Structure 1
C-alpha cells in the first residue's frame, strides 16, 4: 500500500508525485486539515474555501480511478509527523510521496515527517513539481542564487530550449481498496465561508482551470503584453488562484503557451513570450525562498532596508485597508480585493507603493493584509511583490522610483471605467475628474467620497528622505 500526501497540488493530471506513487501498487491519497497553521500563516478564508471546493472535485476524480482520498486533521504542522505515522501504521503503508514545497516552515515540516516515517520503516519520496527547475540548479557563475530576475530568466531560457519539462502521465484506474474516501468538510472553524458572489467568480476543479487556460491561449494571449496593465480589460489569464492551489501546473501553462506560439520562447507572439516571463517570475520568487530563507522570516531581502524608519500610523493603515484613502485608483483596487479575493497585478504594485512610499508604512503590514484576503495568496509571490514595490527586495525598483497613483490611474484607467465600477459614488464624474475628485469638487470635494489622506508630493519627499538616510549596503554587509 502506498500513499500520496496532497498539499498545494490539487489535481489529477500532470501531478508528479501522484504519477510516481501510482506506479508502485495500490494507492490512497491523504490531505491534512491544519486550521491553526493556516491562521498562523494568514491564509485567507476565501482561499481555504477554494481548497475545500477543489478537494471535493479532486476526490470525485480520484474516485473514478478507485483512489480513496482520506482527510485527517493536525491543528499545526507540528502534529503532522504523528498523524501521518499513525495513518501509515493503520493502512500498512510502505511509502509516502509528496511534491516539494519551498517555504522554510514547509521544508522543516517535510523533514520532520520524513524522519518520523523512516523510523517506522516507511520510505519518503519527494518530487519536483511546482517548478521547472530544482532550487539550487539555476545559479550564478560564482555558485550563488540569482538576485536579479533578468539574469535568472536568461539561464532558464537556455535550459528550457535544451530540456523542456515534460507533462506527466495521468494514473490508470486501480483495483478497489477495502475502504472509502472520507467526506470533504464544507468549512473549517476559524474561516468564514465567503459570499456566493465571490465563490461564483472562482469555480473549483481542473476542468475550470483547463477551460481558463485554453480560453486565454485561444483568445487573449496575443494581446497579453498590450492589455495586461489595464484593470478594466480582461487582459490576464485569471489562473493565479488555480496555480497557487496546484489545480493547474506551471508545466501545463508553459506547454499551452508554447503551443500558441509555434514552440517559441523568445520570438513570435510577444503576448505569449510576456506570459511565459510571468511564469518565470513565479519560479524566481520560489528560488529566492530557498536561497535566501530570511524572506520566509519576515525579513527584508536587502538587509540595509531593515533600518527604514517606517511610520506607526494605524489610522492611515486602516484607511488603506478599508478603501477610504481618498485616492480613487487605490480605493477601487482595495475594494476589488475585498469583494473578489483578487486584485489586478498592476494595481497590486500601485497600492503597495502607495502604502510603503506615500504612507511610509512597513511592507509587512501590506503583505499580511494581502495574504488574509487573496484567494491566490502565495508566500513567495506575495512577499516578492511587496518587497519589490517597497524597494527592500530582489531586483527592486530603485527607492526613488515611486509610482504616482494619479498618473498610474490616468494612464491605465484613462476613462475611469475600473474606478467607477468599484466606486459607484464617482460614476457621475467625467474622465478627467474621476482620478482626483478632490481637485474637481471645490472646497468640500465630492459627496460620499473622502478627501485624500496624504499630500502626494510631500509624502514622496518624505519617502525619499527615509531611504536616502539608510546606511550603505557595504556597511550593513560588513556588520552582518
Structure 2
C-alpha cells in the first residue's frame, strides 16, 4: 500500500480540497500534517487574532479527520525538515499541498518542492483558494492588471460553477506517533482577551458552511443596498473562513449557482455584487504576486516622497484603541478590538482618517490590522491600505478624503452602530451622534474625548502635502 503526506496550511477543510482528492486518488494511505512554522512567513508572521482563529480551526479539522479514522499530525519547526522526517518514518512516497501566494510562502514552497524532488520524493501543489491563479490572467499587452474592472471582466468570463468533491467518508491512516496537541502550539493568548471573539465567531468548515447558508437565505438579497450600513447584518462575514481555507471561492460560487436556480432572476442579480467582492479578493492576490514588494513599499513610487508625519505614540495609540474623538472611526476600532473584525465601509473611514487626517504612513494601520483582524490576509490588507492611501493599484485618489461625519450620517443615520460601540455617547441625547464636539456640555459629561485633529484643517493640510509631493515629481 502506498502512502502520501497531505500538508495542510491555510486550506483547513476536507470538502473541495484538491490536494486531498489528488492524494487519495493516487495512494491508499494518508498522513495529514500541519506544521507550525510562523517564522517562515517573516516579516508577516500571523498576528494574535489570526493565531486565535488558527487554534480553533485546527481543532475543528482534527475532529473532522478523527471522525474519518485518521489523526492530524501537528508539528513545529522547519517545514522541510519536518516533512523529510515524516517521509522517513512513514515510508510515504509523495507530499501534496495547496498553494499559498504570499512572497515568503512562494519562496519557501519552491525551495521545498525542489528539495523533495531531488530527494526522489514526488511533490504536488494545487489551487484551492482562488478563482484564477495570479499568473493565469494577463492584460492584452501580456502584463499584470493594475485596474480592477478590466481584471474582473476577464476573470468573470472564466468562472465555471462546479460542485466540489465531497469529503471522503473514511480515510485509511498511516500510523505515526503523534508529536503535538493543538494546545502545544501555544496559539491562544496567555491573558484571556478573546471573549468577544468567542462570542462572535465559529471557526472551522462547519462554521463557514453555516455562515454561507445564513447569508444566502437572508442578507444576500439586499446586499447591494445594505452592505455599506455597518449597523445591519448586511454582509457575509465569510472573510476569515476564506482566509483559513475553511471554505473556497469555488464552493461559494456553486452555492450561488444552486440557490439562484430556485430563487429567480432578481436573486441572481442581487448576488452579482457579492461575487464581485470575491473578485476583489482574487485581484488583491494578483497584485501581491506580481508586485511582491508592496506589503512594505508603495506600488506607486511617487508616494516615496510623500511627507508623512512622524507618529506620535499617544496619538497612534488613541487611534488604535478608538479614542480619536471621531465617533464612527472609534466605533470601528472598538468593534475590531472586541470582535477581531470591522465592517468594510468603516475600514475605509478608519484608514482614511489615519492616512489623511492624521497623515501617518499606511504601514502603521496595516500592521495594527494585521495583529487584530481574524481575517488578516496579506494580499487584502496590503491592497486595502494602499488603495486608501492613494499609493496602490486602482487606488482612490489621495485627494478623495472621506469625511467621517457625513459618512456616518449617510450610512449610520440613526447612530445605531456608534451607540453600540461607544456606550458613553449612547444616552447623552446629542443632536448629531456623529459630531458630539458641537455640544461641549454633553461631551464633557460623557467623558468622550475631543477630536485629535480638526477635520477641515487636517484635510487642507493633507491636500497641501499631496500637492507638495506632486511638485517634486
When normalised by structure 2's length, the TM-score is 0.93
Match of 2:115 in 1: 116
Distance 1:180-1:441 versus aligned 2 partners, 3 A rule: same
Match of 1:29 in 2: 32
Match of 1:478 in 2: none
Q: Distance in 2 between matches of 1:444 and 1:430?
A: 10
Match of 2:301 in 1: 303
SS in structure 2 at match of 1:435 = coil
Match of 1:251 in 2: 250
Match of 1:168 in 2: 165
- Of 56, 59, 66, the residue aligned with 1:63 is 66
Per-residue deviation, 1:429: 3.3
Q: Which moved more, 1:109-118 or 1:136-145?
A: 109-118
Mapping for residues 70-469 of structure 1, pairs under 5 Å: 70-74=73-77, 79-160=78-159, 163-164=160-161, 166-179=163-176, 184-186=181-183, 188-189=185-186, 192=189, 194-262=193-261, 269-296=268-295, 298-314=296-312, 315-430=314-429, 432-442=431-441, 445-469=444-468
SS in structure 2 at match of 1:253 = helix
After superposition, the C-alpha distances for 1:350-390 in whole angstroms (9 at most, x for unaligned) are 00001001110000010000000001110001111111111
SS in structure 1 at match of 2:84 = helix
Unaligned 5+ segments in structure 1 are 476-480
Q: Is the 8 A contact 2:54 2:187 kept in 1?
A: no
- Of 9, 15, 26, the residue aligned with 1:13 is 15
Match of 2:44 in 1: 41
Match of 2:6 in 1: 4
Distance 1:428-1:417 versus aligned 2 partners, 3 A rule: same
Q: Is the 8 A contact 1:69 1:182 kept in 2?
A: no
Q: Is the 8 A contact 2:40 2:105 kept in 1?
A: no
Q: Distance in 2 between matches of 1:165 and 1:132?
A: 12
Q: Is the 8 A contact 2:50 2:373 kept in 1?
A: yes
After superposition, the C-alpha distances for 1:263-298 in whole angstroms (9 at most, x for unaligned) are 9999754431110001100010001111111114x1
Q: Is the 8 A contact 1:96 1:123 kept in 2?
A: yes
Per-residue deviation, 1:129: 1.2
Match of 1:52 in 2: 55
Distance 1:71-1:284 versus aligned 2 partners, 3 A rule: same
Q: Which moved more, 1:91-100 or 1:115-124?
A: 115-124
Q: Is the 8 A contact 1:59 1:181 kept in 2?
A: no
Q: Distance in 1 between matches of 2:289 and 2:6?
A: 24
Q: Is the 8 A contact 2:215 2:236 kept in 1?
A: yes
Distance 1:39-1:142 versus aligned 2 partners, 3 A rule: closer
Distance 1:123-1:345 versus aligned 2 partners, 3 A rule: same
When normalised by structure 1's length, the TM-score is 0.92
Q: Distance in 2 between matches of 1:425 and 1:372?
A: 26
Q: Which moved more, 1:427-436 or 1:102-111?
A: 427-436
Per-residue deviation, 1:316: 2.0
After superposition, the C-alpha distances for 1:398-437 in whole angstroms (9 at most, x for unaligned) are 1111100111111111111111111111012346321111
Q: Distance in 2 between matches of 1:265 and 1:134?
A: 31
Unaligned 5+ segments in structure 2 are none
Distance 1:449-1:12 versus aligned 2 partners, 3 A rule: same
Q: Distance in 2 between matches of 1:35 and 1:397?
A: 33
SS in structure 1 at match of 2:354 = helix
Per-residue deviation, 1:63: 2.0
Per-residue deviation, 1:107: 0.3
After superposition, the C-alpha distances for 1:30-88 in whole angstroms (9 at most, x for unaligned) are 101124456842522232121121111111211233333111101xxxx2222221221
Distance 1:341-1:17 versus aligned 2 partners, 3 A rule: same
Distance 1:295-1:247 versus aligned 2 partners, 3 A rule: same
Q: Distance in 2 between matches of 1:444 and 1:274?
A: 40
Q: Distance in 2 between matches of 1:267 and 1:127?
A: 35
Q: Distance in 2 between matches of 1:406 and 1:446?
A: 21
After superposition, the C-alpha distances for 1:238-269 in whole angstroms (9 at most, x for unaligned) are 11111111111111111112333339999754
